Amino acid sequence: MKYYIAILITFLTSSLLAQEAKLTATVSKNKLGLNQRLRVEFAINKQGGDNFSPPNFKNFKIIGGPSQSVSQAWIGGKTSFTQSYTYIIKPLRKGEFNLPSASIEINGKTLQSDPVKIIVTNAVKVPKNPNDPDYIAEQNIHLVAQISKAKPYVGEGIYVEYRLYFSNNVGIYDNAVTESPQYIGFWNQEIKGNANQIKKAMYNGEQYRYAVLHKALLIPTKSGKLTIDPMKMDIVVAVPTGRGDFFGNAITRRVRKEYASARKTIRVKDLPLEGKPDSFNGAVGDFTYALTSNKNTLKANESSEIKLAIKGKGNLKLFELPKIETPKELEVYQPERKEKVRITASGVSGSVTDYYTVVPEFKGKYKIPKTEFSYFNPKEEKYHIISSDDIYVNVTEGKELKTAPSQEQNTQQNVKLTGNDFRYIQTNTNLNSNKKTDFFKSILYYILLFLPLVSIPIAILIGKKKEERDADIIGNKKRRADRLAKKYLSEAKQQLGKKEAFYEALERALHNYLKAKLNVETSDISREKITKLLLDKNVDQNATKDFIEVLKDCDFARYTPITNVQMNEEFEKAKKVITQLDKQL
């Protein structure tokens, strides 16, 4: 038995000796107010340390310490050892300071810790009770909006990411988005990701866990100062009370608090006028362009396909493709557009292609002139122009193209007789009987006789029904409003069952309805301004409130699970809202 104990001691000793000795310094926070305190811990991972020398706490006052602790563990065949010295300090003035290195001697060698950067700000509001659950929840959870670029060009893609940071001191039991961000002045698209994945990162100089709640690609559609309103959330936080239960587990208290991200300002730069090509149509990014034909030699009434393709990375969905011009002798159908687009945090990439079907009628050789495509590259900050080659279509068989005779030509020609010139003269006859039938005894006679007697009462009845319907002003308004609601909501109805597509179509339908009725671009104004517009048009508050609630539901649905039953209820609610508004507008 003593033999095994000796082996174990030898193994532990050799494991500890094998570790590289290191003295580390950690602080409870890197940024604090003038009226707050800070915990500083110096730890060495090897036994034998002696003559510990703390740093010069210049600009700080020692409130408590040093307190020493030693811990040793053997887990999974590995040993660990920690000896620490802890101080509680308080800043004496504002500023940015480097906490000097501490030192310790071990086996005749002096080890030093790395300096630690500490930022001291103005005094912060601290409750009388530092253990107040509301205060602890506020200090340990942060809702942050991060922007990839604050000064983009018009048409240049950026992204916004909403992160929820929470420290190890608290837990989260429930959360819900109460107000989603508004992207007025931006084309936006949500970027799919793993929202449930928890990661670690430093925030304000401290170690936090965080989850990405929402990420969206934004492409500014106009220049100037654009703002992104905050995201707001209700979160149930589990805050430690400082007490433990019978088994030593920490007792927590649940607190519900509202958090909001900071308002973000984006200063969008206009595209430069210098060097702007005439063919520029709003394309911003990095693209390639090609105009090709799958068949250059063909017969009359045989089809050829011309492909106009733009590939690359940029605002592919926000500009028009060039149009091809063809000779009038070639019949060209409306192009079929195909998009293969991917939306990620790095932007929009893929291709947009127009397929033209060309059908010649006459024999000959025809030229489809070259086209030009231009775009602005925000990284290089300059315009690029790409020109395609001319395309020639050679029609080898078909009708000859008729040309108008010149005035000098004599158009008079001698008549040529052939044996078939009078083949239309009929030489055989078939005679039919010319016996007349008595019209007054025919079926047609009796139909025409009694038709007025039957049609007059029906016409009178239809006329009375029409008068009653025309007099029903309320009913007519309702029927017209129902038809209007069906017209605007037809696309949303087709997307029922597909959450993202349905709510995008529903929101677009509501904006298109107001755009048609009020002649305003409602996608560029806030819900508050929409409310004011409707109230100015004498729409009652209940109908206005219902309309705004449907818009809010379209936003919230992106962050919450939705069933098909809820989507059907939302569709009927939107239909009812449009009907109510149309009666009053």
Give the model's pLDDT for residue 55: 85
Confidence of residue 352 (pLDDT cuts 50, 70, 90): very high
Give the model's pLDDT for residue 392: 87
Task: Give the phi and the psi of residue 9 in degrees, each rounded to 5.
Answer: -60, -40
Among the listed ranges 98-102, 237-241, 293-297, which one has the minimum average pLDDT value? 237-241
Round to whole Å and give the CA distance between 451 and 576.
Answer: 45
Round to whole Å and give the CA distance between 377 and 314.
Answer: 9
Going by DSSP bridges, is the β-strand pair 116-121/31-33 parallel, antiparallel, or unpaired?
Answer: parallel
What digits encode the pLDDT tens for the residues 467-519? 776 666 666 555 655 565 566 677 777 777 777 777 777 777 777 777 766 76
Helix then strand count (H, E) for the chain reads 8, 30
What digits encode the pLDDT tens for the residues 39-65? 888 888 877 667 788 888 888 888 887
Give the model's pLDDT for residue 208: 85
Give the model's pLDDT for residue 68: 79
Picking from 32, 37, 34, the residue whose alpha carbon sits closest to that of residue 64 is 37
3-state secondary structure of 273: coil
Confidence of residue 17 (pLDDT cuts 50, 70, 90): very low
In the DSSP assignment, the letter for residue 415 is -
Task: Report yes or no: 235 and 172 within 8 Å, Cβ to Cβ.
Answer: yes
What digits encode the pLDDT tens for the residues 62-105? 888 788 777 776 666 677 777 888 888 888 888 888 888 888 88
3-state secondary structure of 348: strand
- For 387-398, letters b (16+ CB in 10 Å) and e give ebeebebebeeb
- Sorted by sequence, the CB contacts under 8 Å of residue 316 that are 6+ apart come out as 285, 310, 339, 341, 348, 349, 350, 351, 352
Confidence of residue 151 (pLDDT cuts 50, 70, 90): very high
In order of their start, the domains of the chain are 2-121 (2.60.40.10), 133-268 (2.60.40), 285-395 (2.60.40), 473-584 (1.20.120)
| Higher per-residue pLDDT: 268 or 460 | 268
- How far CA 1 is from CA of 6, 7, 12, 334, 505, in Å, comes to 9, 10, 17, 93, 78
User: How many Cβ atoms from other residues are within 10 Å of residue 217's Cβ?
Assistant: 22
Q: Where are the beta strands (DSSP E) in 122-167?
A: 141-147, 158-166
Q: What percent of the chain has pLDDT over 70?
A: 77
Residues in the chain: 585
